[in-house]
Chains A and B, each alone.
Chain A
Amino acid sequence: MAGTGAGYDLSVTTFSPDGRVFQVEYAGKAVENSGTTLAICCKDGVVFAAEKFLLSKMLVHGTAKRIFPVHRRAGMSIAGMVADARQIVSRARSEATQFMNAYCEEIPPELLAERLGLFMHAYTLYWSVRPFGCTALLGCVDEETKKPSLFCIEPNGMVYKYTATAEGKGKQAAKTEIEKVLANNPELTCEQALMLVAKIIHKVHDEKDKDFELEISWICPASNYEHAQVPVEQRKAAEAEAERILEAEQEDD
């Protein structure tokens, strides 16, 4: 019975005497160890960004992704164990297609998020399974109204709707940065956000960690309101600009 839980941390089906389920809380810890990911609901769409650590110099660029398409107008970025998250992505895709098949309509973002919440919650109820060690940021743009929306689905099954949020190692710093950005420019567009997002991820990156690759995708007019990777040239330009500004800021200090 090592550790703090006195045995209460061994199963998701047992509460501790003070009413906590430790395994679910530990799943939250798995999320906090991961590289930062963030998503912003802009005026005209959603931007996702993820800091992907390069585990090997020989890893092929653009593989082992952390941002996934869910359906044509929805994407999902992951903080935590990506292997776990793939179950959620696959569930999200099947929910979306099933809804489409039954009702001939795209699934409303709220509903998709809520269903994924139920799915993740179900894994906190049974002795024989373990909770998901990841948090998903689900971003959608409505088919008709083109209204963007963003949800955060946590390992305990809770679903929150955000205008912008961040998860992972640098989530606190990243959230503060995003708040500043949105305070200065509430009418931010996705194109404008690109550089700012790159800047935030670079800024919150811990030098002690391994090198990282920046993953950015969006759902906005530039991608014809479909979930797509930001074109490489555009991403590199944004990243270069971000690094230039960051260096300038550091020199000022």
Chain B
Amino acid sequence: MMDFMAQRPVGQEFVRHVEDGCPYRADDVMKPEQAVSTGTTLVVAEFDGGVVMCADTRTSTGQYCANRASRKISKVHDRIFVCRSGSAADTQALTSFVLHYLGQHAVELGKQPTVNTAANLFKIMAYNNKDHLLAGLIVAGYDDKKGGQIYSIPLGGTRVRVPYAADGSGSGYIKGFMDANYRPGMSKAECLEFVQKATALAISRDGSSGGMVRSLVITKDKVEEAVIEGNKLPVDL
């Protein structure tokens, strides 16, 4: 029993049985339905006094775009947000668990929780359930202890603090751009432009990323959301 289970990884059975582009026609109830995944570009960077988070808005099922205006940046607390990539169901469930636990923690603490804490909760959940989850996360936000912070939690469930991060299928196209152009201590406007540009570049090269560029600027005082529509992206296509 254990032998063949070891030979056949669980993940394989997810996609094999389904016809391309037509997720609901496979007449076989013994297999799970095709997963919805956020083939994604996520870009996050620290600047003086806060963080900027950016994401495209395309959610796909196989070859079909399930949602062209989705929100991949989810709120976990007043000043803490998470960028989600991987399986939409997994990351949504993960986020709602952390939202719940962080909320309880905040009430118990009687003050704003730290980004560090939020990231740690995500890490615990991602690591403990790594065999069942497909989730790449970037947790970012602002707290009074350490200011703006970014924690990257890739597939296996490690947690690293980084000054800037890119994740999702589109991230490969822009890592070099980010390494070359990121400077510590940018102004808010500079950082926003940098992050939006990086996301737009990834969108233009990655088929699974697309739609608009949603951005979020988190500082001590406020959270500002912005959208650049797909036809106004800051790149020459």
* A–B contact, 8 Å CB criterion (strictly below): yes
Which residues of A approach B to under 8 Å, CB–CB? 101-105, 108, 111, 144
Give 21 pairs: A residue, B residue, CB < 8 Å, sorted on A.
A101-B124, A102-B120, A102-B121, A102-B124, A103-B105, A103-B113, A103-B117, A103-B120, A103-B121, A104-B114, A104-B116, A104-B117, A104-B119, A104-B120, A105-B114, A105-B116, A105-B117, A108-B109, A111-B108, A111-B109, A144-B145
In the assembled complex, the Cα of A8 lies from the Cα of B114 at a distance in Å of 49
Q: Mark B84-119, 1 if CB is under 8 A from A, else 0.
A: 000000000000000000000100110001101101
Within 8 A of A (CB), among B108-165: 108-109, 113-114, 116-117, 119-121, 124, 145
Which residues of B approach A to under 8 Å, CB–CB? 105, 108-109, 113-114, 116-117, 119-121, 124, 145
Give chain B's interface secondary structure class.
helix
Chain B residues positioned under 8 Å from A111 (CB to CB): 108-109
Residue from A104, A108, A111, A144 whose CB has the most chain B CB atoms within 10 Å? A104
In the assembled complex, the Cα of A104 lies from the Cα of B124 at a distance in Å of 11
In the assembled complex, the Cα of A105 lies from the Cα of B121 at a distance in Å of 11
Chain A residues positioned under 8 Å from B105 (CB to CB): 103
Chain A residues positioned under 8 Å from B114 (CB to CB): 104-105
In the assembled complex, the Cα of A101 lies from the Cα of B124 at a distance in Å of 9
Chain B residues positioned under 8 Å from A144 (CB to CB): 145
B120's nearest neighbour on chain A, judged by CB, is: A104
In the assembled complex, the Cα of A144 lies from the Cα of B108 at a distance in Å of 19
Task: Give the distance to chain B from A111, nearest Cβ to Cβ, in Å.
Answer: 6
In the assembled complex, the Cα of A105 lies from the Cα of B117 at a distance in Å of 7
In the assembled complex, the Cα of A102 lies from the Cα of B117 at a distance in Å of 8
Task: Give the distance to chain B from A221, nearest Cβ to Cβ, in Å.
Answer: 21
In the assembled complex, the Cα of A102 lies from the Cα of B120 at a distance in Å of 7
